[in-house]
């Protein structure tokens, strides 16, 4: 019985629940799915050097250098590693920081928060719930209605124009 319980707990640790979204941004509901796990070599094969450094090593791109910092098109921002929907352009705002900023994720299920005390600062890191890709950080200096600023790296995201 203990072995079965241990295996069940291990299976749950290797799965996550995420909210799926259509190309128009409509929720398709929640699914429980295995986490995306790849070796460093596999990630290096599918990501650029910058994407790998940001998503797998919690790097940060240079401000005003990312492709999406000033993108004003309508659509969804998806994780570059696993395509999970992370942000809707309708929650994007100009933060004047040089990184794409949003006042909330598209779904709380799709992101994970963790403490980041690197660089002598106390911050909250944001990662993809499905593949553990580092996306950026969240700060408490954003606009209403949340007062939050999800400051993301363009290198961690893939923008997809909204479909009808």
Segment 37-67, tens digit of pLDDT: 999 999 999 999 999 999 999 999 999 999 9
Band of the pLDDT at 1, cuts 50, 70, 90? low
User: What one-character-per-residue DSSP string does 90-142 give?
Assistant: GGEE--SSSS-EESS-S-GGGEEEEEE-GGG--EEEEEETTT--EEEEEES--
Active site residue 151: yes
Show the tokens assigned to 18. 């995420």
Segment 129-142, tens digit of pLDDT: 999 999 999 999 99
CATH code for the part of the protein at 2-161: 2.170.150.20
Band of the pLDDT at 13, cuts 50, 70, 90? confident
pLDDT exceeds 70 at position 4? no
Show the tokens assigned to 29. 């509901």
Segment 98-136, tens digit of pLDDT: 999 999 999 999 999 999 888 777 889 999 999 999 999
pLDDT exceeds 50 at position 82? yes
Strands laid side by side in the 85-88 sheet: 85-88, 75-79, 157-161
Q: Where is pLDDT greater, at 119 or 7?
A: 119
How far is residue 96's CA from residue 63's CA, in Å, rounded to a whole number? 10
- What are phi and psi for residue 10, nearest 5 degrees? -65, -40
Q: Where are the domains of the chain?
A: 2-161
Cβ-Cβ contacts under 8 Å for 36 (sequence gap 6 or more): 81, 82, 130, 131
Beta 15-21 vs 149-152: how paired, if at all?
unpaired
How far is residue 25's CA from residue 27's CA, in Å, rounded to a whole number? 6
pLDDT at 76: 98
């Amino acid at each position: 019985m203990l072995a079965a319980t241990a295996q069940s707990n291990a299976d749950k640790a290797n799965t996550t629940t995420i909210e799926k979204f259509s190309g128009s941004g409509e929720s398709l509901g929640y699914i429980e799915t295995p986490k995306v796990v790849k070796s460093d070599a596999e990630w290096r094969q599918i990501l650029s050097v910058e994407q790998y450094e940001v998503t797998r090593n919690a790097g940060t791109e240079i401000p005003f250098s990312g492709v999406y910092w000033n993108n004003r098109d309508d659509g969804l921002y998806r994780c570059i590693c696993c395509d999970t929907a992370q942000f809707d352009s309708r929650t994007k705002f100009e933060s004047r920081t040089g990184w794409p900023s949003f006042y909330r994720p598209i779904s709380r299920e799709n992101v994970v928060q963790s403490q980041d005390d690197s660089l002598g600062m106390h911050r909250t890191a944001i990662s993809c719930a499905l593949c553990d890709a580092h996306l950026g950080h969240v700060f408490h200096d954003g606009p209403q209605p949340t007062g939050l600023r999800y400051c993301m790296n363009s290198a961690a995201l893939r923008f997809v124009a909204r479909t009808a």
